[in-house]
Amino acid sequence: MSYSIAIDGPAGAGKSTIAKIIARKKGFIYVDTGAMYRAMALFMLRNGIKPEETDKISAKCREADITIQYKNGEQVVLLNGENVNGLIRTEEVGNMASSSSVNGDVRRKLVELQQQLAKTADVVMDGRDIGTCVLPQADIKIYLTASSNVRAKRRYNELRGKGIDCDMEQIESDIIERDHRDMTREISPLKQAEDAVLVDSSDMTIEEVADKIISLCK
């Protein structure tokens, strides 16, 4: 039986940074499910589809073949065979992903892929619905969060670090809007699984959070 660690939480809580560290320390595979939703969102944007065009999203998602490969331990997302890793980290794609991931057809397709990955390997998987829906039998479930203000500051520093000009207030209001959409959608909304451990990273360092989660695995 493969082992699985599920990490859910809102945007900017530090899920991917933490999940990568845990995967490296435990020798597990890191599965970034948000990247799959982002690849799907990129496909919709490229096809000129708007967030509110639900029927078009349902129909079009059948044409998007999303697969995952691992190169030097890094997850590579392929969209119809093209490596899109370098194209999916923009705010535009993130906001579209939050909207298109509301769609049931998009979710069914990607959840199946995620469940297949967890069957074949020990995984640390992060997202919004991993503990509640994708891997309800996960060995460890974490709900990782932080205040919207702290998350906005982290995102701001990350973007500035990349030389991207941005506005702190805009980032925080985008985060609040995205949280609201992710938490109130009809299908698999973001919420803490009953058996998940709540970790608030607002006043914790990356190492402290990673150590805490690893200690739970023992």
Give the residues lining the site for ligand DC (CB under 6 A): 11, 33-34, 37-38, 94, 97-98, 101, 127-129, 178, 182
Cβ closer to ligand DC: 4 or 33?
33
Cβ closer to ligand DC: 147 or 218?
147
Give the whole-angstrom CA distance, residue 80 versus residue 83. 9
Cβ closer to ligand DC: 14 or 127?
127
Cβ closer to ligand DC: 26 or 191?
191
Query: H/E/C letters for each residue in the chain?
Result: CCCEEEEECCCCCCHHHHHHHHHHHHCCEEEEHHHHHHHHHHHHHHCCCCCCCHHHHHHHHHHCCEEEEEECCEEEEEECCEECHHHCCCHHHHHHHHHHCCCHHHHHHHHHHHHHHHHHCCEEEEECCHHHHHCCCCCEEEEEECCHHHHHHHHHHHHHHCCCCCCHHHHHHHHHHHHHHHHHCCCCCCCCCCCCEEEECCCCCHHHHHHHHHHHHC
Cβ closer to ligand DC: 3 or 104?
104
CB of 171 to ligand DC, least distance (A): 13
CB of 88 to ligand DC, least distance (A): 8
CB of 95 to ligand DC, least distance (A): 8
Cβ closer to ligand DC: 4 or 98?
98
CB of 218 to ligand DC, least distance (A): 26
Residue listed under structure tokens 């060995």? 139
CB of 128 to ligand DC, least distance (A): 4
CB of 121 to ligand DC, least distance (A): 18
Task: Spell out the residues 6+ positions from residue 147 whose beta carbon is closer than 8 angstroms to its own.
Answer: 202
The amino acid at residue 164 is: I
